[in-house]
Structure 1
Amino acid sequence: MRLYFENPVGRLLEHPDGYALVQYAAGPRDFPTFQAFLTHTSQLLRRHSWHKMLADQRQMSPFTDEERNWIREYWLASSETDGYELFGAIIIPADVFARLSLNLVMTDSQQSALTYRLFDAEPEAVEWLQQLP
């Protein structure tokens, strides 16, 4: 795997099987750094014409309301507007509050171009991604 981008929010890796591996770091985030992280995620996906990502959120802190709104109103909305379909295998956070905030984001994303599944472990998430076109 090749590192594409890294900041305090996490790391983005190019997986040789044709998907983005999005690894969230533990700890608090500032909003501009979070926006940069997801913007680079979009750029990585589009650069390779990939439509799949594995988001490892096990260490992630809960999304803030500002982050959730930005994901819904900008990040997911821009993919939907462009007709860019996304598939996300999400490894759920260990923190119960992060799980709750993830559920809110997933509820917000139901009308978007993102098709996702939640997983407890990476092997099952990878298996699901490999079954997709």
Structure 2
Amino acid sequence: MRLYFENPVGRLLEHPDGYALVEYAPGRRDFPTFQAFLTHTSQLLRRHHWHKMLADQRQMAPYTDEERAWIRDFWLARSASEGYEMFGAILLPADVFAQLSVNQVMSDSQQSALTYRMFDGEPEALEWLRQLPETQG
């Protein structure tokens, strides 16, 4: 795997199997750094014409209200308006409050370009990603 981008929010890796590995770091985030992290995630996916990502949120702190709104109103809305379909296998956070915030984001994204599944374990998440077609649209 090759490191694509890293900041205090986490690391983005290019997986040779054709998906982005999005690893969230523990701890609080500042909003501009969070926006940069997700913007780079979109850029990585589009650069390779990938539509799949494994989001490792096991150590992640809960999303803030501001982060949730930005994901829904900008990040996912932009992908939907561009017709860019994404598939996300999400490894659930250990923290129960972070799990609740992830569930809220996923609930908000029902009408977006993101198709997702949540997993407790990485093997199941990877198996789901492998079953998806390489490209969409």
Which residue identity does 1:33 align to in structure 2? T
SS at match of 2:71: helix
How far apart, CA to CA, are the structure 2 residues paired with 1:119 and 1:106? 13
Moved over 3 A (4+): none
Kindly state the Cα deviation for residue 109 of structure 1 after the two structures are TM-superposed: 0.3
Kindly state the Cα deviation for residue 15 of structure 1 after the two structures are TM-superposed: 0.2
Kindly state the Cα deviation for residue 2 of structure 1 after the two structures are TM-superposed: 0.1
How far apart, CA to CA, are the structure 2 residues paired with 1:27 and 1:118? 21
Kindly state the Cα deviation for residue 9 of structure 1 after the two structures are TM-superposed: 0.2
Q: Which runs of 5+ in 1 are unaligned?
A: none
| 1:88-107 correspondence to structure 2 within 5 Å | 88-107=88-107
Q: TM-score scaled by structure 2?
A: 0.97
Q: TM-score scaled by structure 1?
A: 1.00
Tell me what 1:84 maps to.
Answer: 84
Q: Deviation per CA, 1:64-98, whole angstroms, max 9, x where unpaired?
A: 00000000000000000000000000000000000
Calculate the aligned-residue CA RMSD, in Å.
Answer: 0.3
SS at match of 2:109: helix
Q: Deviation per CA, 1:9-64, whole angstroms, max 9, x where unpaired?
A: 00000000000000000000000000000000000000000000000000000000
Tell me what 1:128 maps to.
Answer: 128
How far apart, CA to CA, are the structure 2 residues paired with 1:2 and 1:14? 5
Tell me what 1:108 maps to.
Answer: 108
Tell me what 1:37 maps to.
Answer: 37
How far apart, CA to CA, are the structure 1 residues paired with 2:78 and 2:16? 26
SS at match of 2:79: helix
